[in-house]
Structure 1
Amino acid sequence: MIRAWVSFLNKQADAAMARAMVWSIRSGSRKEFKHRQCCISREQKKMIRDYWNRYTKKNRPLFQALYSCMHGDFDVRYLPDDLYLTRMLGYLNDRDYAVLTNKCLQPLLFNCRQPETVFMRIKGSFYNADYQLISREEAIRLFLESGEAVVKPATRTHSGKGIRFHSAREAAEVSDFLDTHFDQVPSYIVQKVVRQHAALAAIHESSVNCLRVMTLLIDGQAVALSTVLKMGAGGSQVDNLGFGGIVCGVREDGSLREVAFSANGDQFGRHPQGFDFSGYPVPSFQAVREMAVKMAERLPYTRLIAWDIAVAEDGEPVLIEYNDIGELGFMQYANGPLFGDYTDQVLSEIFR
């Protein structure tokens, strides 16, 4: 009886949170629509309604109008943010397996090149790269041997929050650093810093500029839907938009598009440090996409995944992390409708 009540209350709480989230998303999109001075014709609004009414009555043409304005091309297939978060992700990705996004588990999940693990702290205990228990003193020694390292919280983090870079020569300095920034973080991973390809360092040298590849499992295979290049700016060591980074769409031939976007949708014809995006060839583009597709096949319970993949100095792709709640906004700003030619098929499956 108690379990039944707890389940009922949890469902009510989830429903209330979903309503609040939808209201916030729609309100924010309306403000952005006005701020960008976007417009939509009656004919375009009718086209959007006719298309989406085949699947659901809950779509708001506001979203397709805003994305068409930002990307520059009208299309009825742009995904609405509210339905993406409340219906599509929940259908495509089984939340029971969200635990697999724990960064300390990533080396176990994927048999591809990844940043070299220095050590991990998991639930308060320290482990080496082979998942063998070690002492805190041994972990500090490994940190000192690594030179510069990056420390990432294993869970409950996004947009680069909580990530720290550090180099030290003394054990006491490492100890103080960990106590100051990670004492209250029960699980984190320490990795050697990836040295990126010169062609990507030329854009913004301070950050490791990753390719974000969105993949979808459909018809018994994984496909790459959309790819953008994430870039740091202003000397930041991370490429996340939450820290001033920007993204630029990548065409199917591996060249950058003309315009990049910030987190709030501001457009950049050049990188803030002066780099010209238009037509710039991304190194190892096909190899990066092939890695994302191959690794996506290992996660059947998470059909829609956002992969962050760097390109090392030697041109080989390096898996930085994967996300089961990929950002929709900047992907559609940069490249158009996320599901592209698969839109009708995916919507028919979700809203059947």
Structure 2
Amino acid sequence: MINLVKKEEINYEELGIKSDTKAFERYDEAGLLDHVSETFIGNYQEYWLHYYNKSVDPLTATAFANLVGYDEYRVIPARLMNRTLIPFFNDKTIDEGYVDKNNYDLLIPTPQSVDTVIKCVRGNYFDGNNTMMKRDDVLQTLLRFDELIIKPSKSNNGREINKLVNNHYSLNINDTPVSMDDIELMYNSDYTVEQVIQQHSNMAAPHPSSVNTLRMVTLRWDCSIHHLLTCAKFGSDGAIQDNAGQGGLWIGMNDDGFFMNTAMDEYALTYTHHPTTGFPFHELQPIPNFNEFIRFVKDAHQNIIHHDFVSWDIAVGIDGQPIFIEANFAGNTWLYQLASQRPIFGELTENILSYVSQSNKKYPVVSNYRRVKQYKQSIKKYKSDLSELKNALNKEQQQKRKYKRRYSKVKHDLLNAKNDLHDAQQKLSSMKTSKSWRYTSPLRSIMQKTTKKD
């Protein structure tokens, strides 16, 4: 990187870098923004304008350059990946059906997968062969095993994954006895219970208490399934999960199955030794049959026809063979690129950017983020319209109340006039029947005749 700018003199906004984001804070605290090159950023933007017809935030690429020590224009900004590219490749409207772990055996029918013991689907129970079970039989089934893994079936973030331990015919989670009622309270109506995977010693070595997996990324492009990259994930602090969001570490791998010597965590901090066990990562042995793992995920992707971009979690069995755990349809792609020290689309980058750019002109992609933003804007407009209608209605109601008061007054006055008329008619009637009226009748006749002559 040349033409470096002193950190205290950098105007990030002028360079197109958003400095008010969590990503900026993460890279800054990790020391991955210590060197910023205006020359690199200028060339980076030229590259993107040429292939994508837009300038983009160079934050991820700048952090990448600080990490590896060289410039790489093909690094994909995390924001663009999450909000534009992944929604372009994947039909996000049907994610729920694909992410449900209780559907995996139907979507990806392979014997090389984790063994399911119990499925809970909308509160109904099924065994591993999808045969419905009575709730009373579930506990006895679970007590046949010494240890099991229980997890929510509709999430893929590593949260709420626990070991279910048989302690003298009593189920325990985190050394606490649990009943079926407790389990249902914790996991609601959708969860899965699986047998514990016996993993390969090489993968277990850095952190034996977690099932450590390979995050393998594939892409359907130009009528072929491509393997993009692979990172290994290792748990930490004695946890059973290996997710970065749960404290895990990621290590890049090359296409021959060799591990890199440095791991990275969710804060972009790097490690040469495992922080919990002290295991030196350079002692990890390569996976000798790595081509079989690549072929395995590429074959599995054939069944995922609505999603072109898939991140696979694959365990390495005790026999060295791949074991399917789960499929993800997004992911922390900034971590993919930095941990593996390679741009996610590699040699496909230019073709992909050009194609997406041209396609978006005709059929703009609406990401979940943009869709939510549009919904919020629509809701704001609807609220504004509703407020105007309420104001108009209030005015009409005020007018209505005003007219109602006038109507009530007129009605009251009319009633009073009717009453006065009635009283006058009664008085007149009384007068006509009185003796004085009869006695003065001749006089009234004379007066009427005199009035006519005049």
TM bucket (normalised to shorter chain) is 0.7 to 0.9
Partner SS state of residue 50, structure 1: helix
**1:90-138 deviation digits (Å, cap 9, x = unpaired):** 1000113312111000011112211111010000000111111101122
1:186 to 165, 186, 189: 189
> What TM-score results when the alignment is normalised by the length of structure 2?
0.69
Residue equivalent to 2:198: 195
Percent sequence identity over matched residues? Answer: 26
Q: Is the 8 A contact 2:164 2:171 kept in 1?
A: no
1:38 aligns with 2:34: yes
* One-letter code aligned to 1:125: N
SS class of match (2:211): coil
Match among 302, 307, 312 for residue 307 of structure 1: 312
TM-score by length of 1: 0.88
CA contact (8 A) 1:255 1:279 kept: no
Which moved further from structure 2: 195-204 or 210-219?
195-204
Which amino acid is the alignment partner of residue 197 of structure 1? H
Cα distance in structure 2, aligned partners of 1:326 and 1:348: 23
**1:350 maps to which residue?**
356
CA distance in 1, matches of 2:306, 2:225: 12
CA RMSD between the two structures: 2.0
Letter paired with 1:350: V
Note if 1:268 corresponds to 2:276.
Answer: no
Residue type of the partner of 2:99? T
For the 8 Å contact 1:148–1:168, the answer to whether it is kept is yes
Q: Structure 1 residues 130, 25: CA separation in 2 closer, same or farther (over 3 Å shift)? A: farther
For 1:277, the equivalent position in structure 2 comes to 281
The superposition leaves residues 46-66 of structure 1 with CA deviations (integer Å, 9 ceiling, x where unpaired) of: 111101112142511222112
1:217 aligns with 2:213: no
Kindly indicate whether the alpha-carbon contact (under 8 Å) linking 2:210 and 2:234 is maintained by their aligned counterparts in 1: yes
Alignment of 1:1-352 (within 5 A): 27-35=21-29, 36=31, 37-54=33-50, 55-98=52-95, 99-112=97-110, 113-155=112-154, 157-169=155-167, 173=171, 176-183=178-185, 184-272=187-275, 273-278=277-282, 280-283=284-287, 284-335=289-340, 336-352=342-358
Give the distance between the partners of 1:269 and 1:27, measured in 2 at CA: 28
Contact 1:115-1:192 at 8 Å conserved across structures: yes
Give the C-alpha shift of residue 209 in structure 1: 0.7
Retained in 1: the 8 A contact 2:217–2:227?
yes
* Local SS of the residue matching 2:94: helix
Cα-to-partner distance string for 1:175-225 (whole Å, 9 max, x where unaligned)? 934433442521111100001011111221111110000000011111110
Question: Does structure 2 conserve the Cα–Cα contact (< 8 Å) formed by 1:144 and 1:169?
Answer: no
Aligned partners of 1:246 and 1:261 also within 8 Å? yes
What is the number of equivalent residue pairs in this alignment? Answer: 329
Greater gyration radius: 2
Q: Would you say the 8 A contact 2:234–2:248 is kept in 1?
A: yes
Q: CA deviation at 1:279?
A: 6.7
Residue by residue over 1:269-304, the C-alpha shift from the partner in whole angstroms, topping out at 9 and shown as x without a partner, is 122222222373333422222111110111121111
Matched-pair contact (CA < 8 Å) for 2:60–2:334: no
Question: What is the alpha-carbon distance in structure 2 between the residues aligned to residue 63 and residue 243 of structure 1?
Answer: 22
- Which one is further off, 37-46 or 238-247? 37-46
User: What letter corresponds to residue 140 of structure 1 in structure 2?
Assistant: L
Flag structure 1 segments of 5+ consecutive residues without an equivalent.
Answer: 1-22
Secondary structure at 2:281 match in 1: coil
Contact 2:274 2:280 in 1 (8 A): yes
1:251 deviation in Å? 1.3
Corresponding residue SS for 1:167? strand
3-state secondary structure, aligned to 2:198:
coil
Partner secondary structure for residue 97 of structure 1: helix
Residue identity in the other structure for 2:63:
L
Decide which moves more: 45-54 or 32-41: 32-41
Question: Which residue number corresponds to residue 11 of structure 1?
Answer: none
User: Per-residue deviation at 1:247?
Assistant: 0.7
CA distance in 1 between partners of 2:317 and 2:19 (Å)? 37
Partners of 1:293 and 1:194 in 2: CA distance: 22
- Kindly indicate which of the two structures has a greater share of residues assigned to helix: 2
| Partner Cα separation in structure 1 for residue 123 and residue 117 of structure 2 | 16
Q: Does the C-alpha gap of structure 1 residues 167 and 300 become closer, same or farther in structure 2, counting only changes over 3 Å?
A: same
Gaps of 5+ in 2: 1-16, 359-454
Paired residue for 1:15?
Answer: none
- Give the counterpart letter for 1:84 in structure 2: M
Q: Which has the higher contact order (CA 8 A, sep 6+)?
A: 1
* CA deviation map 1:308-347 (0-9, x unaligned): 0001111121001010112212111112211111111111
Amino acid of the structure 2 residue aligned with 1:41: S
Using a 3 Å threshold, how does the CA distance of structure 1 residues 324 and 177 change in structure 2: closer, same or farther?
Answer: farther
Contact 1:256 / 1:279 at 8 angstroms: preserved in 2? no
Residues 138 and 262 (structure 1 numbering): CA distance in 2 closer, same or farther, change over 3 Å? Answer: same
Is residue 221–residue 297 contact of structure 1 (8 Å, CA) maintained in 2? no
Where does residue 416 of structure 2 map in the other structure? none
Partners in 2 of 1:199 and 1:128 — Cα distance? Answer: 32
Counterpart-to-counterpart distance in 1, 2:139 and 2:192: 13
